[in-house]
Amino acid sequence: MERLILRDIPNFHRIDVYEVNGGYAALRKALAMSPAEVINVVKKSGLRGRGGAAFPTGLKWSFMPKDSSKPKYLVVNGDEGEPGTFKDRMIFEKNPHQLIEGTLIAAYAMGAQTVYIYIRGEYLKWINLLQTAIDDAYARGYAGRSILGSNFGTEIVIHRGAGAYICGEESSLMNSIEGQRGYPRVRPPFPAQYGLWGNPTTINNVETLTNVPLIIERGGEWYASLGAPALPGILLYGISGQVNRPGVYELPTGMLLTELISDVAGGVRGGKKLKAVIPGGLSVPVVRADEVEGLRMEPESLKTVGSMVGTAGIIVMDEETDVVKVTARIASFYHHESCGQCTPCREGTGWMAKILHRIERGEGRPEDLDLLVDIANNIEGNTICALGDAAAWPVRAMVRKFRDEFEAYIGRTRIVERALSSALPEPLTVKG
């Protein structure tokens, strides 16, 4: 299939090359349409958010009030903190103008006069690349006041994050733009009613917006016909972990997971067998090798094994992977990144990490596994934002799907303890 996001054309990131290949024609086309017409085309395309939640993009845009006198904002989410996800970075590097063009079309459709593009702090190189592209877009009259001679104008500002996973969550991202700690907000009110500084705001992922110029150019029906009906379109699959050719691959949605791992990414490294795969970024439940056959990267198919498409960040683990170690590391991550606002997440993530590291050290107790599932169940659904669920799901799935491996670790503890107690004549006591 012809690649439409990560294009084959050399120097496509440069504005002159982008223009020669039809760039910014979709913006012209959109400006000749009414904002409502633009939203309708996007609705028809079936485009869903690519940041993990897969919310219908056109519908989200339609939530923005049409008659409000308040300033309206569009926020582009390029925080890309979900482990296993590295696609937005490719867009910044390879095709920044298609992102800018999609952003401008979205801003026009919603009447947003200011756009903030939030990019994770570590991506300084890519922030600079995007800033150059934005400057070029301004210089050619695509951004700023009176875009292409129309009466529509919008400013684009990059806001650099500073190392907080939680800021990829849209409401905490807004607080971060406002100069606060990245604490998620209670909803309702939703951002379209009460977003940045209390004004109507929409937050879209980088990849989502990069699809928009294609949709305006070729039509909603065309886009809706691509890939899987439940999640139509083009998807950037990020494949990492123990495969021969890790990387970002642009393909239609709904690809077979086996095909992605074996053919696209060249199979498991070192000729080893597959043990498990996390299909959609670290936060989605793991899939065991024996469940992979026939699974497609679309919601209905992944649901059958209790998982999700998420960010399409596919993390591959070979047969030698120590899932106990991996799960302990996963739990530490969420504990580190919990913002601390909600008790179930703040305490629960730390508790899970503590238990998992104790199991890893060979100090696990038989009751620990049920306790882990119980803690996960009590975090899930009981927090302001989705980080709680994101912390609960992978740990619970790992423990349920690889219970025997966790039990083996705990079993070893019991053997060591028994050996010690029979070897020692009497319990050691410390005198003093």
Partner 1 sequence: MFTEQELAAIEAIMSKYPDPKAALLPVLWLAQAKRGWISEEVMREVAKILGLPPSDVLGVTTFYTMYNKKPVGKYHLQVCTNISCQLTGAEMVVGRIREKLKIGPGETTPDGKFTLSEVECLGSCGTAPVMQVNDDYHEALTPAKLDSLLESLA
**Which residues make up the interface to partner 1 (CB under 8 A)?**
71, 80-86, 88-89, 120-125, 155, 157, 159-165, 176-182, 197, 238-242, 246-248, 278, 282, 313, 315-317, 321, 325-326, 329-330, 333, 336-337, 339
Contact 177, 75 (CB under 8 A): yes
- Minimum CB distance to partner 1 smaller for 121 or for 294: 121
What is the closest distance, in whole angstroms, from the C-beta atom of residue 391 to partner 1 in the complex?
13
What is the closest distance, in whole angstroms, from the C-beta atom of residue 240 to partner 1 in the complex?
4
Two structure tokens written together for 380 = 């899930």
Tell me how far CA of residue 294 lies from CA of 75, 127, 265, in angstroms.
37, 39, 17
What is the closest distance, in whole angstroms, from the C-beta atom of residue 83 to partner 1 in the complex?
4
What is the closest distance, in whole angstroms, from the C-beta atom of residue 247 to partner 1 in the complex?
4
- Minimum CB distance to partner 1 smaller for 175 or for 253: 175
Two structure tokens written together for 281 = 């970024």
- Minimum CB distance to partner 1 smaller for 199 or for 225: 199
Two structure tokens written together for 173 = 């991202």
Contact 172, 385 (CB under 8 A): yes
Contact 186, 384 (CB under 8 A): yes
What is the closest distance, in whole angstroms, from the C-beta atom of residue 321 to partner 1 in the complex?
7
- Minimum CB distance to partner 1 smaller for 215 or for 376: 376
**How far is Cα 80 from Cα 97, in angstroms, rounded to an integer?**
19
What is the closest distance, in whole angstroms, from the C-beta atom of residue 66 to partner 1 in the complex?
21
Contact 372, 396 (CB under 8 A): yes
- Minimum CB distance to partner 1 smaller for 88 or for 136: 88
What is the closest distance, in whole angstroms, from the C-beta atom of residue 3 to partner 1 in the complex?
16
- Minimum CB distance to partner 1 smaller for 68 or for 180: 180
Tell me how far CA of residue 379 lies from CA of 3, 95, 397, in angstroms.
41, 39, 14
Two structure tokens written together for 13 = 């990131």
- Minimum CB distance to partner 1 smaller for 86 or for 351: 86
β-pairing, 287-288 with 201-205?
unpaired
- Minimum CB distance to partner 1 smaller for 110 or for 228: 110
What is the closest distance, in whole angstroms, from the C-beta atom of residue 32 to partner 1 in the complex?
30
What is the closest distance, in whole angstroms, from the C-beta atom of residue 26 to partner 1 in the complex?
27
- Minimum CB distance to partner 1 smaller for 223 or for 333: 333
- Minimum CB distance to partner 1 smaller for 294 or for 340: 340
What is the closest distance, in whole angstroms, from the C-beta atom of residue 157 to partner 1 in the complex?
5
- Minimum CB distance to partner 1 smaller for 181 or for 361: 181
What is the closest distance, in whole angstroms, from the C-beta atom of residue 80 to partner 1 in the complex?
5
- Minimum CB distance to partner 1 smaller for 48 or for 120: 120
Peptide bond into 189 cis (omega under 30): yes
What is the closest distance, in whole angstroms, from the C-beta atom of residue 320 to partner 1 in the complex?
10
How would you label 135-164 residue by residue, b for 16+ Cβ within 10 Å and e otherwise?
ebbbeeebbeeebeeeebebebebbebeeb
Tell me how far CA of residue 377 lies from CA of 33, 332, 349, 373, 393, in angstroms.
48, 18, 12, 6, 9
